[in-house]
């Protein structure tokens, strides 16, 4: 039995939800005030039999116990799984030996190191480092509050200190603090550098950034990537910023540690830094989860504030090209990504210290990312030529198509037409032909896969009939995981259509990453394991039209199932909640029932 199955079996949805919601458990379906949106009369319902929950109010969404913990705590799947495992008394270590903890864990080693670095900064050895901080207007008090220190370049070493403190050598190495030389002696990883501790969202020190104090390159180095320190997933300062981001529905992303520190000190508490790389899809997803509002309660926003130089612009575009997939994840458009550029091309750190009002203006003046993207690409292509027009169109069609708000979408089609110097109906006509890049990828892929067999009709039939609990979802996912050329046909599927949280996570990860390749030594990650399992499920068909047909059948069945499911629980809600429902909830529910009826009829008529 896997950890996931064990947790699923043992977790009692009523108990899990009760930790956050005051549930009225007198009826067959316990209900309470929704923890995800503000309301006066209960529209949040728990179904003990199926282990699921649903909000009939503004959220109009639901899921299982793991999904609930993810949403409530704003944490990723595997963390929610582990937390639940702990609560229901499943021994995580027994279930998966890969996560056994060493005697002293890397976090403890990092805590010991941070204390040592701070002591060195305050010591006579720290004179140069303190002068550097003074030059950047950082007082000792701030330095201490923000976890700075000094990795001195001398005889006394961190390795020696950690040994004296009884920190396990392996833990220190796992934490990336020391390395063992060929002669068997331990050596410090950071020498002659100002250190900045980096904490994860839970506030644990998971690594360090280190800045050179002379002109030596590289200017910044970080703890090497490890299980506890993954640059692509961490956001610097999130331990300080998370509460504010959640409360205000806005996150601001800057580039450097010093920028984030200056912002925090200046009272701009929603600020985090992207760890010195361009923002990754995983980081965007973390932020999107924190800023997103329930449907109908406005949009959350993530403001990317990046270098104003040309290289910075390139990086921003690359990020945006990546993060548009995030929009595909957020089907209801509850999160908006914006781009801010500091006046005069200064670093945020400088602007904040010199003129906090100017910084405030920079952030509030951020433009929607699609607008930024269209303008930036328009400047790069020669739109006077047909090739330039096509290039611009292909560069931004995906992001525009992925928008869920059709009014905004229209706005961008007309902006795009304007930048291309053509009539709007011309742009719409271009939509019917496939993107140049997609067509090329398709051809080369066909060549590579060669003589693969056809779609297994028996497998497809079984999936459509829904044999097995998740057969349909599994089959659909295996199709898109194996055939990337189906991407454009599947990005529009709302994630809510997947009832199984693990499948929903697989789908979400597939949407946000170009190619979710297996990561080495991550066998304890249930999402990875499921992806691998799904990859083996479907036989690779060679015929593109056949694949599209199979996929669209699955998508249609998934939608139908989703609407039927909605209908059932809506009806249940009417009977169960009826008397206590507020008038607005009642009216909203009625509207939604009419809407889902209409949509169901459309599905049957084959119009969707």
Considering only the stretches 58-66, 100-108, 374-382, 600-608, report the one whose residues sit in contact with Zn ion under the rule CB under 5 A: 58-66
- What is the C-alpha separation between 105 and 463, in angstroms, rounded? 45
Considering only the stretches 26-34, 101-109, 123-131, 192-200, report the one whose residues sit in contact with Zn ion under the rule CB under 5 A: 26-34
Kindly state the smallest distance separating residue 156's Cβ from Zn ion, in Å: 57
- What is the C-alpha separation between 558 and 472, in angstroms, rounded? 7
Considering only the stretches 49-57, 201-209, 321-329, 469-477, report the one whose residues sit in contact with Zn ion under the rule CB under 5 A: 49-57
Looking at the Cβ atoms of 59 and 287, the one nearer to Zn ion is 59
Considering only the stretches 54-62, 72-80, 238-246, 251-259, report the one whose residues sit in contact with Zn ion under the rule CB under 5 A: 54-62
Looking at the Cβ atoms of 38 and 414, the one nearer to Zn ion is 38
21 binding Zn ion? (CB under 5 A):
no
Kindly state the smallest distance separating residue 563's Cβ from Zn ion, in Å: 20
- What is the C-alpha separation between 500 and 302, in angstroms, rounded? 28
Looking at the Cβ atoms of 36 and 413, the one nearer to Zn ion is 36
Kindly state the smallest distance separating residue 55's Cβ from Zn ion, in Å: 3
Kindly state the smallest distance separating residue 38's Cβ from Zn ion, in Å: 9
Kindly state the smallest distance separating residue 62's Cβ from Zn ion, in Å: 10
- What is the C-alpha separation between 600 and 608, in angstroms, rounded? 10
- What is the C-alpha separation between 39 and 58, in angstroms, rounded? 9
Looking at the Cβ atoms of 54 and 173, the one nearer to Zn ion is 54
Considering only the stretches 51-59, 84-92, 310-318, 365-373, report the one whose residues sit in contact with Zn ion under the rule CB under 5 A: 51-59
> Interface residues for Zn ion in 229-268 (CB under 5 A)?
none
Take residue 134 and report the two structure tokens written for it.
Answer: 């003074």
Kindly state the smallest distance separating residue 293's Cβ from Zn ion, in Å: 11
Kindly state the smallest distance separating residue 58's Cβ from Zn ion, in Å: 5
Total number of residues that touch Zn ion (CB under 5 A): 6
Kindly state the smallest distance separating residue 84's Cβ from Zn ion, in Å: 21
Looking at the Cβ atoms of 35 and 192, the one nearer to Zn ion is 35
- What is the C-alpha separation between 146 and 240, in angstroms, rounded? 10
Kindly state the smallest distance separating residue 39's Cβ from Zn ion, in Å: 7
Looking at the Cβ atoms of 42 and 76, the one nearer to Zn ion is 42
Residue 241 near residue 274, CB atoms below 8 Å: no
CA distances from 47 to 419, 568, 589 (A): 52, 12, 18
Kindly state the smallest distance separating residue 60's Cβ from Zn ion, in Å: 8
Looking at the Cβ atoms of 41 and 513, the one nearer to Zn ion is 41
What long-range pairs does 448-453 form, CB within 8 A, spacing at least 24?
Answer: 449/540, 449/542, 450/542, 451/542, 452/539, 452/540, 452/541, 452/542, 453/539, 453/540, 453/541, 453/542
Kindly state the smallest distance separating residue 331's Cβ from Zn ion, in Å: 17
Residue 62 near residue 501, CB atoms below 8 Å: no
46 binding Zn ion? (CB under 5 A):
no
Task: Assign 222 to helix, strand or coil.
Answer: strand
φ and ψ at 150, to 5 degrees? -130, 125
55 binding Zn ion? (CB under 5 A):
yes
Considering only the stretches 50-58, 103-111, 184-192, 541-549, report the one whose residues sit in contact with Zn ion under the rule CB under 5 A: 50-58
- What is the C-alpha separation between 219 and 193, in angstroms, rounded? 9
Kindly state the smallest distance separating residue 53's Cβ from Zn ion, in Å: 10
> Interface residues for Zn ion in 342-371 (CB under 5 A)?
none
Considering only the stretches 29-37, 88-96, 257-265, 538-546, report the one whose residues sit in contact with Zn ion under the rule CB under 5 A: 29-37
Residue 538 near residue 452, CB atoms below 8 Å: no
Take residue 581 and report the two structure tokens written for it.
Answer: 């429902």
- What is the C-alpha separation between 122 and 168, in angstroms, rounded? 26
Residues near 586 by beta carbon (within 8 Å), at least 6 away in sequence = 578
Considering only the stretches 53-61, 147-155, 353-361, 473-481, report the one whose residues sit in contact with Zn ion under the rule CB under 5 A: 53-61
Kindly state the smallest distance separating residue 44's Cβ from Zn ion, in Å: 6
Residue 534 near residue 478, CB atoms below 8 Å: yes
Kindly state the smallest distance separating residue 34's Cβ from Zn ion, in Å: 3
Residues near 16 by beta carbon (within 8 Å), at least 6 away in sequence = 65, 68, 69, 84, 87
36 binding Zn ion? (CB under 5 A):
yes
Looking at the Cβ atoms of 57 and 391, the one nearer to Zn ion is 57
Indicate which single residue of 59, 339, 351, 401 sits in contact with Zn ion (rule: CB under 5 A). Answer: 59
Take residue 59 and report the two structure tokens written for it.
Answer: 């959220």
Considering only the stretches 19-27, 30-38, 155-163, 213-221, report the one whose residues sit in contact with Zn ion under the rule CB under 5 A: 30-38
16 binding Zn ion? (CB under 5 A):
no
37 binding Zn ion? (CB under 5 A):
yes
34 binding Zn ion? (CB under 5 A):
yes
Considering only the stretches 34-42, 196-204, 388-396, 398-406, report the one whose residues sit in contact with Zn ion under the rule CB under 5 A: 34-42
Take residue 494 and report the two structure tokens written for it.
Answer: 């709302």
Looking at the Cβ atoms of 237 and 294, the one nearer to Zn ion is 294
Looking at the Cβ atoms of 58 and 490, the one nearer to Zn ion is 58
Q: How many CA atoms lie within 13 A of 477 on its CB side?
A: 30
CA distances from 56 to 26, 60, 227, 344, 497 (A): 19, 5, 39, 48, 16
Q: How many CA atoms lie within 13 A of 511 on its CB side?
A: 27
Residue 408 Cα to chain centre, angstroms = 23
Return the sign of the alpha-carbon dihedral for residues 29, 30, 36, 37: positive
φ and ψ at 405, to 5 degrees? -90, 110
Looking at the Cβ atoms of 40 and 607, the one nearer to Zn ion is 40
Looking at the Cβ atoms of 204 and 293, the one nearer to Zn ion is 293
Q: How many residues does the chain have?
A: 608
- Write out the residues near Zn ion by the rule CB under 5 A: 34, 36-37, 55, 57, 59
């Amino acid at each position: 039995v896997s950890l996931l199955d064990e947790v699923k079996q043992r977790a009692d949805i009523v108990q899990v939800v009760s930790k956050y919601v005051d549930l009225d458990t007198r009826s067959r379906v316990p209900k309470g005030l929704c923890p995800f949106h503000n309301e006066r009369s209960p529209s949040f319902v728990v179904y003990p039999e199926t282990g699921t929950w649903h909000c009939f109010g503004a959220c109009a969404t639901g899921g299982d116990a793991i999904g609930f913990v993810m949403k409530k705590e704003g944490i990723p799947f595997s963390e929610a799984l582990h937390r639940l495992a702990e609560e229901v008394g499943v021994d995580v270590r027994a279930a998966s030996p890969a996560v056994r903890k060493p005697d002293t864990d890397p976090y403890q080693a990092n805590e010991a190191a941070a204390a040592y670095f701070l002591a060195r900064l305050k010591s006579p050895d720290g004179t140069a480092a303190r002068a550097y901080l003074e030059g950047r207007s950082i007082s000792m008090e701030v330095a201490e509050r923000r976890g700075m220190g000094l990795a001195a370049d001398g005889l006394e070493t961190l390795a020696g200190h950690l040994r004296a403190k009884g920190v396990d050598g392996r833990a220190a190495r796992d934490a990336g603090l020391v390395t063992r030389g060929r002669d068997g002696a331990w050596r410090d990883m950071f020498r002659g550098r100002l250190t900045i501790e980096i904490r994860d969202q839970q506030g644990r020190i998971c690594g360090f950034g280190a800045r050179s104090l002379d002109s030596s390159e590289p200017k910044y180095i970080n703890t090497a990537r490890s299980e506890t320190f993954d640059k692509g997933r961490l956001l610097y300062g999130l331990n300080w910023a998370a509460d504010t981001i959640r409360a205000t529905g806005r996150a601001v992303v800057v580039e450097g540690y010093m920028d984030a520190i200056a912002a925090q000190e200046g009272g701009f508490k929603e600020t985090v830094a992207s760890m010195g790389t361009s923002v990754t899809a995983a980081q965007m997803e973390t932020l999107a989860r924190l800023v997103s509002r329930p449907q109908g309660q406005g949009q959350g926003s993530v403001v990317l504030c990046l270098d104003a130089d040309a290289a910075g612009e390139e990086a921003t575009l690359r990020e945006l090209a990546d993060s548009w997939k995030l929009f595909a994840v957020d089907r209801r458009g509850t999160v908006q990504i914006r781009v801010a550029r500091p006046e005069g091309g200064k670093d945020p750190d400088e602007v904040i210290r010199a003129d906090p009002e100017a910084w405030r203006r920079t952030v509030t003046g951020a433009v929607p990312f699609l607008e930024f993207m269209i303008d930036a690409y328009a400047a790069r292509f020669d739109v006077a030529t047909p090739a330039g027009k096509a290039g611009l169109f292909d560069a931004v069609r995906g992001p525009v198509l992925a928008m869920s708000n059709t009014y905004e979408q229209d706005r961008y089609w007309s902006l795009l037409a304007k930048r291309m110097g053509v009539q709007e109906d011309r742009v719409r006509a271009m939509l019917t032909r496939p993107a140049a890049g997609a067509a090329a990828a398709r051809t080369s892929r066909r060549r590579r896969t060669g003589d693969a067999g056809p779609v297994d009709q028996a497998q497809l039939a079984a999936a459509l009939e829904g044999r097995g609990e998740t057969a349909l979802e599994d089959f659909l996912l295996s199709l898109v995981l194996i055939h990337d050329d189906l991407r454009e046909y599947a990005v529009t599927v709302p994630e809510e259509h997947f009832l199984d949280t693990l499948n929903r996570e697989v789908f979400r990860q597939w949407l946000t990453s170009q190619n979710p390749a297996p990561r080495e030594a991550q066998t304890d990650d249930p999402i990875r394991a499921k992806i691998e399992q799904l990859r083996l499920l479907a036989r690779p068909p060679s015929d593109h039209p056949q694949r599209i047909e199979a996929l669209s059948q699955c998508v249609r069945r998934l939608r139908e199932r989703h609407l039927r499911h909605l209908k059932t629980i809506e009806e249940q809600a009417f009977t169960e909640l009826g008397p206590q429902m507020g008038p607005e909830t009642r009216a909203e529910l009625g509207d939604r029932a009419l809407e889902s009826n209409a949509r169901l009829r459309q599905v049957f008529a084959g119009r969707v």
